[in-house]
Structure 1
Amino acid sequence: MKFSEIIGQEKAKSILLKAVKAQRIPHALLFSGIPGTGKKSTAKALAMLLNCHSPSEDGGCGSCRPCRQLLNGNSPDFISIVPEKKEGRRSPRVVREHIREIHKRTSFSPLGRYRVIVIDQADSMTDEAANSFLKLLEEPPEKNIFILNAVEPLNLLPTIISRCQRIQFHPIPSSDIAEWLVKNKRLDPDTALVLSKICGGSLGMAMSLIEKGFLKKREEWLSFLIKLPSMDKDKVLSAAERYLESKDDISNMLMAWQSWLRDMIVVKEAHEKELLINRDLSHMAERISDRYSVKELINGLMLIHKAEHDIYKNRNMSLIIKNTLLGLWKLGAQKGLS
């Protein structure tokens, strides 16, 4: 994997390549940024470059044994810790068992020049795990490089942060994501542009949305939202039950609705098509936005933000969706749109 294959993140890549060239590689790196911006890919590219038998200035050759092992996912010198969500937990956590495994693996020398240990969602470490990991950083084993991937780095212990070189991964420009989707996923430019706007600078999210058939579902979700004020209350509750049958889609559905309400505010306030997320539906946004005031659209956005927050807090999904749909329904019904 070449560094040039990673979209954007020119500053992050430059820092790492200069460190390798100068042979001044930090024993601990903190990659911070939203998911899907290249943190994992960059960690792999760095690991490949460090152990490649015939490296170039841009990365590993991809052909030697260490490169092939890493590409095939069986490199003994690349350890990836990915926390799993367990029953009773709101979200995945890096726990003591993960760090114990790292202690064990770093107790002997790497087979190649370096061993790279990547801890995904490092900001989810339990206190016990963090204190155990801190001991490794205080006396780092030779030829081992730790890479911590984090969305909220301030959730880490300050003593861990102070022992890492922090490298920021910024949201990827939508134009770069759209170009990549056209070239690598063979999407038409309009479709690629919509996805690039929706994903908020995360190529990983764009890929996930493609896999889940987001654009086709988006049409159904937005059609429902537009028709919502004309429904009676029983139909609204019936629709809520139907959506609850596909819980994996709910976050994306809320994201689609959020983008739509946001677009209608843009239409009313800015009048600039280039700022729209759903640019392929700009004429519809112009027509529908006349029904609502900016304040009402903001109230709708607040309802969706609350739903997302309550879902994150692992509250009752059925109540969240029913209350959100009823709240959005009332925005239109109270105006006589029903």
Structure 2
Amino acid sequence: MNEAENIVSIHPRFNDEFFGFDKIEDLFLNLLNKKSISNAYLFNGVKGIGKATFAYRLARCLLKKKENTKLLDSLYTSKESNLFKSIANLSHPDINIIEANLEKKKISIENLKPLKKNIYVTSLESDYKVIIIDSLDDFAIQSKKQSFSSLLKLLEDCPSNCIFFLISHSLQNVPDTIKSRCQKIYFNPIPRATLRKWFENSKLVDKKNIDVLINLSNGSLGRALNIVNNNIFFDVYNCANEVIFNFKDISKTQINSLFSMYNKDLSIDDFLLVIQINIIEAIKKEIEGQKNVDKEVIEIFINLFFEINKKINNSKTFELDSVQIINTVEYIFIKKSEQLKKYKNG
């Protein structure tokens, strides 16, 4: 296993490293030392950026032994400590972890039911009880309304020493009633320069691929590391680049070749995001350095981008079949390509 595979394969509860969010670390270090921690936090930001890793980092600090009254000088906890090991091994009595079922990759209402009893049980080894839900985006659609209603009641009625860390990749998936009960902490995408420096120092990827990697990462180190381990990202990126930058001359066969690259090794979100990134780059190219911007071309690309966005949102909201979504987006591509050809030849 190479270094990138090793980092990516680490579940957040096993990870003792945290990168790129010094201000958030300082904020919580201050809150913990002042014992001003709130009952519920909603961590939101792009997937793979480190939200869950940070939740476990905080959990370790909160769950230190009751007799430990020293002020913290950092949020770091050694992997060799008994506390770190007990949380990593799911044996610590004062933490409850709710995450997606490995088989169905969803969180059902049944997963939340044990919390109704557990949050009222007296903490055994620390002053707090910690609940981590990773993530709210994974609530099963069949029971989503009931799950959020149950979660809201837990947030309203929980004892003062219960601390919830809720993870979300998109706040639009979270009801206002939940958001209003939480302190919202936004994890900004990591700046391009910071990611570039990290990858140049790590030597995990050829320098010639760093720019493409940063474009695909969407500001997430975790996502970037997944890309390093999955060459199909680069293959799809290069194919999409050729199709989109030659859009007015592209054939149906070439569009079909692009969409035939979709397979189980790449999620539908990732596949379509790679295409959207190329659309954004094409729009930038049309605008940059042009005295007379062709508004019709820009409009076609913008419409194409938002049509894909709509399909991504629909797939999440209605749990639509991914192949059906891909076929629909391919059809949209063909129609937009024909529209551009007609405009250019008209």
Q: Secondary structure at the match of 2:146?
A: helix
Confirm or deny: 8 A CA contact 1:304 1:324 kept in the other structure: no
User: What is the identity, as a one-letter code, of the residue corresponding to 1:33?
Assistant: G
- Cα displacement string for residues 32-67 of structure 1 (whole angstroms, at most 9, x for unaligned residues): 223233211110111122234688521223322011
For 1:334, the equivalent position in structure 2 comes to: 342
The equivalent residue for 1:206 is: 224
Runs of 4+ in 1 over 6 A off after TM superposition: 1-4
**Displacement after TM superposition at 1:197 (Å):** 2.9
Distance 1:112 1:17 in 2: 21
- Offset, 1:257: 3.3
Letter in 1 for 2:73: E
**Residues 17-166 of structure 1 correspond to what in structure 2 (within 5 A)?**
17-52=29-64, 56-59=72-75, 60-72=77-89, 74-84=91-101, 94-113=107-126, 114-122=128-136, 126-141=144-159, 143-153=161-171, 155-166=173-184
Answer yes or no: is the 8 Å Cα contact 2:120–2:158 preserved in 1: no
Query: CA 1:25/1:269 → structure 2, altered by over 3 Å: closer, same or farther?
Result: same
> How far apart, in 1, do the equivalents of 2:333 and 2:241 lie?
13
Q: Which runs of 5+ in 2 are unaligned?
A: 1-12
Which stretch of the first structure deviates more once superposed, 297-306 or 327-336?
A: 327-336
Residue 186 (1) aligns with residue 204 (2): yes
SS in 2 for 1:248: coil
The Cα RMSD (Å) is: 3.7
Residue type of the partner of 2:79?
G
TM-score normalised to the size of structure 1? 0.76
User: Structure 1 residues 131 and 62, CA, compared in 2 at 3 Å: closer, same or farther?
Assistant: same
Deviations 1:188-217 (A, max 9, x none): 444333322332222232223223222243
CA gap 1:154/1:259 in 2 versus in 1, 3 angstroms:
closer
Distance of 2:185 and 2:109 partners within structure 1: 25
Contact 1:2–1:45 (8 Å) recurs in 2? no
Q: Aligned residues: percent identity?
A: 22
Contact 1:124 1:155 survives alignment (8 Å): no
In the alignment, the residues of structure 2 paired with residue 322 and residue 133 of structure 1 have an alpha-carbon distance, to the nearest angstrom, of 39
Whole-Å separation in 1 of the counterparts to 2:193 and 2:14 = 21
Alignment match of 1:317 (pick from 322, 325, 335)? 325
Secondary structure of 2:212's match? helix
Q: CA offsets per residue over residues 249-308 of structure 1, 9 Å max, x none?
A: 65444333333332233234234xxxxxxxxxxxxxxxxx9xx94531441342243134
Task: State the 1:320 CA deviation.
Answer: 0.9
CA distance in 1, matches of 2:94, 2:203: 31
Task: Flag the 1:158–1:215 CA change in 2: closer, same or farther, 3 A.
Answer: closer
Return the alpha-carbon distance in structure 2 between the equivalents of residues 304 and 198 of structure 1.
Answer: 16
Any unmatched runs of 5+ in structure 1? 272-288
TM-score by length of structure 2 reads 0.74
Distance in 1 separating the partners of 2:175 and 2:244:
43
Structure 1 residue 232, shift from structure 2 partner: 4.8
2:85 partner SS: helix
Match in the other structure for 1:279: none
Q: 1 CA distance for matches of 2:156 and 2:251?
A: 63
Distance 1:311 1:163, change over 3 A: closer
Q: Deviations over 1:219-272 (max 9, x none)?
A: 233234456655554x3575367345668365444333333332233234234x
Q: Is the 8 A contact 1:37 1:202 kept in 2?
A: yes
- Return 64-73 or 52-61, whichever deviates more: 52-61
- The partner residue of 2:234 within 191, 210, 215 is 215
8 A Cα contact 1:30 1:147, kept in partner: yes
Distance 1:157 1:242 in 2: 36
Q: Pick closer, same or farther for the CA change 1:240–1:294 going to 2, 3 Å.
A: same
* Structure 2: distance between partners of 1:146 and 1:197: 33
1:162-311 matches, within 5 Å, as 162-184=180-202, 186-213=204-231, 214-226=233-245, 229-230=248-249, 232-233=251-252, 235-236=253-254, 238-239=256-257, 242-243=260-261, 248=266, 251-271=269-289, 293-311=294-312
Mapped contact 2:96–2:130 kept (Cα < 8 A): yes
Deviation at 1:108, TM superposition (A): 2.3
- Count of residues in correspondence between the two structures: 314
